[in-house]
Structure 1
Amino acid sequence: MIRVVGQVRFRGSTMSRHNSRQKLSQFLLVEHLERRDVPAMIYDFDLVRQNAADFRDDSLLLTLTTPIAPDFSVGAYAPGLQLIRNYHLVPNLYEAKIQGATLLGTLEKLEPSLRVAMVQPNAKIQAAGIPNDPSFSKLYGLNNTGQTGGKFDADIDATEAWDTQTGTGRTIVAILDTGVDYNHPDLRDNIWTNTGEVAGNGIDDDHNGFIDDVHGYNFVTLTGDPMDDNGHGTHVAGTIGAVGDNGIGVAGVNWHTRLMALKFLDSTGSGYLADAIAALDYAVQMGARISNNSWGGGGYEATLGQAIARATVGGHIFVAAAGNSSSNNDVTAAYPANYNSPNVVSVAAVDQNGVLASFSNYGPTSVDIAAPGVNIYSTLPGGTYGSYSGTSMATPHVTGALSLYLDAHPGASATEALSALYQSADSLTSLQNRVAGGRRLNVGNMFTQLAPPVSDPQGARVVAGQFNQAGGSITSASLTFSEEVQPSSFSLADVSLVGPLGTLAISSVTTVTGSGNKQFTITFAPISQAGNYRLGVGPAILDLTGNYMDQNVNGFNGELSDLYTLDWTQQVQTVFTNNSRVAIRDLRTVTSTITVDADLIIGDLNVRMDASHTYVSDMVITLTSPTNVVYTLFNRRGTSGDNLIGTVFDDQAAVGIAEGLAPFTGAFRPEGSLTSLVGKNARGKWTLSISDKASRDSGTLQGWSLEFTQQLQVSAMPARRLAGSQLAKAQVALVSVALPVGPMWTGGALLSANQPLTPVPDLHAAHPMAVANTAAALQARLDMSVWSRFLADETGTPWSTRNRAAKAY
């Protein structure tokens, strides 16, 4: 087991730890923000002063106020500081190397920086005490006949599962640990191999950012050799996937899996936060469906929590040891097992009698399942074997079971796999009020008592989309599908991009490496022209079972209304900032004002702020407009959490402030909508009011900003309602429209038809495959994004939005 050493602090005051299991939404991510004119927030400042040995002295983690074009030169952000790597799972997070300076001195230099948003010292991670009771035992955890003096059948029923499935090797399992002896005779046939890499040539052949990463990566030495020099990781690997039925040694839960070795802990079992995030980042990037995390304990680290939550997008399952402190995780949280992201599985340990191990942590709400973890016999480096105990040993039983299930059901989602895991578990009286549902792993039941996942007749849909900027221009778009799609069915012909001057060329459509064909990047020439842009995708993109898209989730695949659209308005933002600090005192209301001295017609308004305040639920925050209309932004949310760091109140945010978690980093919808300000003139005095409603906790407003985008004028055409069959007969001709100079939408489309068009009551095609089978209709869909905004029914509702599942911003 591994323990995180460190405590989150705000500069000059302690940020309290919270014992309850914290909710971490998958949307709680580091946002790409345009501007943030407030000093950097420093974590663990006091702890570095008290005991610098708990942190790495030559590196730290940070986020930037302006993530576009980060500067990797030495001294760019502080003397001797150089950015050395970033993370896919946590955008805008960087590890920076410290040269010729101390950690404490660097933190002091970074604190007043306006270019750095957040700084996190690189917390040390150490091996926690594993109960030192190694004794020879056989694999009672897989099949218990009482051979070790335990209770008959107090096991996971692996032999029953093997009657149905012994593994196929389809599922990649990442082992984040001390490495793996990939030459062990009982493991080497199941070690993952990166087929895109040539061993030993010193070249990053697959262009994933890592050289010679043939079997994984070593984040301690930054080399492609993840060999285990401790033993812990190899022992874990054997329980998950030692080769079965090969006449030697032991058998893993999955006889034929693929084990990815990711070493971030050194020979003493010590490592650092930045490397743990990097290892998980690599696992998701390279296609691992599951990661085994037999390490943990200590405190909440926001950056690691964000990475784990972000991994849910790719369907990644994060299996974690509950801890070896004999403590209640419902009361005293142990991380990473206590991150309440839906992809986290927290595992306790039981002995050969099915009784909770004396050392095991527990928690009826925070610990999800138990598995054998006492005197577990498995592989060790050098071709040897031995017995270890700990929740570290229980965890790989669960990981192996999940990999076996996904091998048998490759189309199953992470949610379906976890549902099968929990529904099939044995419910033991001895584990009631100790583990959720009293559950002990039963992999046999996953195959003998549960029906296989129902074949999904519904097509894929785009669940996330965004335009990507570089240097002030948009250069690409990223899409995430709800399930794996066939790359060969997604080509340039399936994409359209229309802007103020008409249709723009698409350069490429590529699969994101390691995404399991769920994530794609669409590239085009850089766009800087002001105006509205719309990307159209689909609907003739196929999932693995041959279904066309079902974007509107109505059960009919391949309709015109299943076209996914993504909108972007290219415009300049105007920002007004007040960086004066204001003390927030108990049971008082304080104010800060910004005067807008220009005539701006509001198209959108975001409010950005930073406030240090322990127990944020003491606060009510409002914004008063120049016309004295009061808008509530924040109303006593976040329970006992601390601070609002880089918080943006944005009506278009995916997450409401009520659903967020302190320190509320990123964008959130405010309590009261700001949309009524659209069309109003921004000139005048704006007032931010913060009311402290309780005693004992206080804080400081560090600064705040008003971010205005001006309202664009959009030329419109008379609306006509068209049926799907008639749309196929419509001819579209792009025209240029002369409009007054300014940031206006300057293009449009003119519709004509081969025959009179009459209103019809139904916009759906008569047959779900009508579009797919009609060449003319498929051609018509390519122009859909141009003119769909002009089509409306008698109520005035745009046709393109009536059947669209969601709109991405």
Structure 2
Amino acid sequence: MKHRISLLISAAVISAAGLAYAQEATFESQTEPEVVPGQFIVKTSPGTDMARFSIQSLSDGVRVIDTLPEVGMLVIEAPDAEFGALSTRSLNVPGIAYIEPVYVVRADATPNDPDYPQQWAWPKIKAPAAWDIGKDSGNLIVAVVDSGVDYRHPDLAANMWKNPGEIPANGIDDDGNGVIDDVFGANFVGAATNGDPMDDNQHGTHVAGTIGAVTNNSLGVAGVNWKTQIMALKFLSASGSGSTAGAIRAIEYGIKMDADIMNNSWGGGGFSRALEDAIRAADNEGILFVAAAGNSNSNNDTNPHYPSSYNVDNVLAVMATDQSDAKAGFSSFGATSVDMGAPGVGILSTTPGGQYSSFNGTSMATPHVAGAAALVWAQNPGMSHLDIKKHLMDTAEVIPGLAGTSLTGARLDLGKAMKPGDTPPPEPQPEVCKSKAHTQIAYDEFMWSARKQVSKNDNILSVSFTLTEPMVVDISTDTSGHRIEGSGNTLVRTGVYNQANPSVMWTGSYRRMNFAGGKDDYRDISTDFSIVLPKGSHTIYWKLWVTGATLELDSGTLTVRGIPCSMGGKLSISEASTMSADRTEADQGPAARQEELGTDPMGQSTTSSN
């Protein structure tokens, strides 16, 4: 069963508040996310012929180690290259949309919390009542993106997905998908993909057992689904760590091989635009992406945990609850960034070698929801992946003690989700937007006078604005400067942030550059970054980090562009006029800005006051 729906991005006109000049601030820069040395992900521009695309002009010694045509990406290796230099060079290479490091991510490890009675979760989420209505999702494929699965486990073997186009153990890529003998899934650990996703860690097998351990077979444990198809996509190694490149390759395989649901009990690393794009590609193919909220007991609203915090429609973020329906002490949470809770403490499930163990973690909560999604979807084949997500959230049991910990403040209720009377009809998809409105520049502000000096970690500027609907926002910064103090190579870093003293940077906007010259060596300092932001008020900060030197900057601009299309449809971006930046700071009161910005083509004001 496949549900392939191309989703349309909903957008609205930005409503701008007053420009706020940031206070001079000294803060400690965040520890940079762990990366795979010398490896990078290159996203090609739309329409690029990947078969003819050449990456050699990007850097000496660069080589392509993986091609991912389903998501339009390449994984490259450039051992001696520095990311900032590669990023700068990529601007002049036709066919490159962006480049980013390959980040290291890790399984959401099991905290050392006490165990609870065996499989207490089933009566808690009313699974027996659900099983009276339906037990099987054998027509659906649930991909376990993890450390692999012990496909020989006696409580899993009968529920493993089997590639219909592959002949086992003949050493031939029978179905021509690029992987030899990928009978139960594939292994993406390291650069060379192979067809053996055997679990050498325990984590993935435990997750798989919760989703679909064979049930009513007089052996071991029960799964949410008594019968299903578990696709093993291994990208985490025996140590429980992997890379964003490996995760993207696993997601691409799942898209190619028609997975319906992806369980993602892992997280870490910085914001990866490439991983977000891969998840969006899965969304466009009607795949539900269920993700663990993380085990750091932190608020994901202010400290995002990826991939659960990516703002893509198909992401269903899950926190862990305990036997008393309280938030598990280790579980991360978020009133706007986490969707719902599920049991994640003392969860008994399958482990490699025919064994069983109890684990704790949001990793254990997530497969309860992924398994529930499969069971409900099998009973309601007319629903889309987004209908399933909404239905699970709408039918979850609201728990007073969970208020403010997620969007729903609720814990999975499989019994209610499976009741026929609680199943809504599929929601109609939005029509293609018929608005002819253009991209509207909401800000193009004179930020500082020439000769501004920067010698530490500085908040250069903050700008606040309000969105009336979720929308795509493009943030551009531009200035130039030269070194007036310091010698040798000076490292300068720049980026856009969502906090004055950020705990998480928007790594998609992060850039590095080196200054080596003196007063006559002017260098451009710029950032260009796009992100989907939710409805509501936002403040962004442009920052510079300068180490061991003083830079003198020219005047500069920060531009925030919004793409208005209130019906939620195909984005049509045209050139927008650019306003003059040669005015003084005294001219920049709210009234002056309103007169300059005026109205957009739809006749709506582009300014307001907060």
Distance 1:450 1:103, change over 3 A: farther
Give the structure 2 partner of residue 207 of structure 1: 176
Distance 1:609 1:160, change over 3 A: closer
SS at match of 1:379: strand
Give the structure 2 partner of residue 396 of structure 1: 367
SS at match of 2:76: strand
Aligned residues: 453
Of residues 94, 118, 130 in structure 1, which corresponds to 2:98? 118
Q: Does 1:79 align with 2:86?
A: no
SS at match of 1:112: helix
Which digits, 9 at most, give the CA deviation of each residue in 1:113-161, with x for residues without a partner? 5114422111111345421236473110012xxxxxxxxxxx1100110
Give the partner amino acid of 1:306. Answer: D
Counterparts of 1:451 and 1:407 in 2: how far apart (Å)? Answer: 15
Which digits, 9 at most, give the CA deviation of each residue in 1:393-437, with x for residues without a partner? 000000010000111122221122122212221111111122223
Of residues 322, 329, 341 in structure 2, which corresponds to 1:370? 341
Distance 1:58 1:330, change over 3 A: closer
Give the partner amino acid of 2:234. Answer: K
Which digits, 9 at most, give the CA deviation of each residue in 1:652-708, with x for residues without a partner? xxx952589xxxxx9763596x8xxxxxxxxxxxx775579989xxxxxxxxxxxxx
Instruction: Check conservation: 1:60, 1:96, Cα contact below 8 A.
Output: yes
Q: Does 1:669 align with 2:530?
A: no
Of residues 379, 393, 400 in structure 2, which corresponds to 1:429? 400
Of residues 342, 346, 349 in structure 1, which corresponds to 2:317? 346
Of residues 77, 80, 83 in structure 2, which corresponds to 1:102? 80
Instruction: Check conservation: 2:87, 2:98, Cα contact below 8 A.
Output: no
Give the structure 1 partner of residue 166 of structure 2: 197
Offset at 1:288? Answer: 1.1
Give the structure 2 partner of residue 448 of structure 1: 419
Give the partner amino acid of 1:405. Answer: V
Distance 1:670 1:193, change over 3 A: same
Describe how 1:254-653 pairs up with structure 2 within 5 A: 254-448=225-419, 450-454=421-425, 586-587=447-448, 611=477, 639-640=538-539
Instruction: Check conservation: 1:127, 1:268, Cα contact below 8 A.
Output: no
Q: Does 1:67 align with 2:36?
A: no
Give the partner amino acid of 2:447. Answer: D
Counterparts of 2:176 and 2:583 in 1: how far apart (Å)? Answer: 52
Counterparts of 2:160 and 2:430 in 1: how far apart (Å)? Answer: 34
Counterparts of 2:122 and 2:585 in 1: how far apart (Å)? Answer: 55
Give the partner amino acid of 1:218. Answer: N
Give the partner amino acid of 1:120. Answer: E
Which digits, 9 at most, give the CA deviation of each residue in 1:709-760, with x for residues without a partner? xxxxxxxxxxxxxxxxxxxxxxxxxxxxxxxxxxxxxxxxxxxxxxxxxxxx
Offset at 1:173? Answer: 0.4
Of residues 546, 553, 563 in structure 2, which corresponds to 1:657? 563
Q: Does 1:181 align with 2:150?
A: yes
Give the partner amino acid of 1:78. Answer: S
Describe how 1:23-62 pairs up with structure 2 within 5 A: 54-62=34-42
Instruction: Check conservation: 2:105, 2:268, Cα contact below 8 A.
Output: no
Counterparts of 2:287 and 2:352 in 1: how far apart (Å)? Answer: 28
Offset at 1:267? Answer: 0.4
Give the structure 1 partner of residue 504 of structure 2: none
Offset at 1:108? Answer: 3.3
Instruction: Check conservation: 1:587, 1:691, Cα contact below 8 A.
Output: no
TM-score by length of 1: 0.51
Q: Does 1:130 align with 2:101?
A: no
Distance 1:109 1:71, change over 3 A: farther
Which digits, 9 at most, give the CA deviation of each residue in 1:164-204, with x for residues without a partner? 10014111001110000000000010000110112223332
Give the partner amino acid of 1:81. Answer: V
Structure 1 unpaired stretches of 5+: 1-24, 29-46, 144-154, 465-551, 553-582, 590-607, 618-633, 644-654, 661-665, 675-686, 696-809
Give the structure 2 partner of residue 605 of structure 1: none
SS at match of 1:365: coil
Identical pairs, percent: 40
Give the structure 2 partner of residue 503 of structure 1: none
SS at match of 2:149: coil
Offset at 1:303? Answer: 1.3
Distance 1:418 1:440, change over 3 A: same
SS at match of 1:261: strand
Counterparts of 1:378 and 1:258 in 2: how far apart (Å)? Answer: 17
Instruction: Check conservation: 1:26, 1:341, Cα contact below 8 A.
Output: no
Distance 1:293 1:690, change over 3 A: farther
Distance 1:84 1:72, change over 3 A: farther
Distance 1:230 1:611, change over 3 A: same
Structure 2 unpaired stretches of 5+: 1-6, 11-28, 435-443, 451-473, 480-494, 499-528, 543-560, 587-610
Counterparts of 1:204 and 1:132 in 2: how far apart (Å)? Answer: 43
SS at match of 2:122: coil
Offset at 1:97? Answer: 2.6
SS at match of 2:350: strand
Counterparts of 1:691 and 1:85 in 2: how far apart (Å)? Answer: 47
Instruction: Check conservation: 1:375, 1:387, Cα contact below 8 A.
Output: yes
Counterparts of 1:259 and 1:369 in 2: how far apart (Å)? Answer: 23
TM-score by length of 2: 0.66
* Aligned alpha-carbon RMSD (Å): 3.9
Counterparts of 1:688 and 1:63 in 2: how far apart (Å)? Answer: 31
Distance 1:27 1:71, change over 3 A: farther
Give the partner amino acid of 1:132. Answer: N
Give the partner amino acid of 1:343. Answer: N
Give the partner amino acid of 2:242. Answer: G
Q: Bigger radius of gyration, 1 or 2?
A: 1
Counterparts of 1:164 and 1:609 in 2: how far apart (Å)? Answer: 50
